[in-house]
Amino acid sequence: MLINDGDRTRAGYIAGLRMLADLLEAHPDIPHYRHGAISFALDGTTSEAFAMIDRAAAVLASAEIEFERRDDDTARAIEFVLAGLRYEFSRMYDSAWEDYQAQRAQCEETVAVRGRGGRGRRVGRGFWKPASWWRGWRRFRG
């Protein structure tokens, strides 16, 4: 079966998930992620995304699927687990997104990399990993 990588429709996404499940079932030598999770942010306007979250909550409740709904000062989200696979979707409030973008821009402007005595190391564009992460990474790489 040919997989169309460019198919970003809902039907294409569902077909891809089914194909992945069939592939993993047919070939047990292909590893799977034991802590399975699908997590993504909703696009569109904030009101459209929040309406979608409300509709999804109603559907999950009517299907008697346990789920967690979060609504705090940064985002709204739905999370549920089916057969060990966690599925989560969310949308940040516009003000929280703007704060995040401002913090990220400030971090990207930082040019100093902490040296040998520092507590971390810069990775990519402004992303810091703690020193303990790097020690674990070195052990993993051998």
Euclidean distance between CA atoms 130 and 118, whole angstroms: 9
**How is the chain split into domains, by residue range?**
1-32, 34-112
pLDDT value at position 130? 53
Sheet strands side by side (includes 67-71): 37-41, 85-92, 75-82, 67-71
Please say if the pLDDT value at position 142 is more than 50: no
pLDDT value at position 70? 93
Per the listing, tokens 């992620």 go with: 33
pLDDT value at position 81? 92
Please say if the pLDDT value at position 16 is more than 80: yes
Please say if the pLDDT value at position 133 is more than 50: no
- Please answer whether residues 86 and 39 qualify as being in contact, where contact means their C-beta atoms are separated by less than 8 angstroms: yes
Q: Which long-range contacts (CB under 8 A, 24 or more apart) does 2-7 make?
A: none
The 10s digit of each residue's pLDDT in 100-124 is 888 888 776 654 444 445 555 555 5
Run of H or E residues at 81: strand 75-82
Euclidean distance between CA atoms 96 and 70, whole angstroms: 15
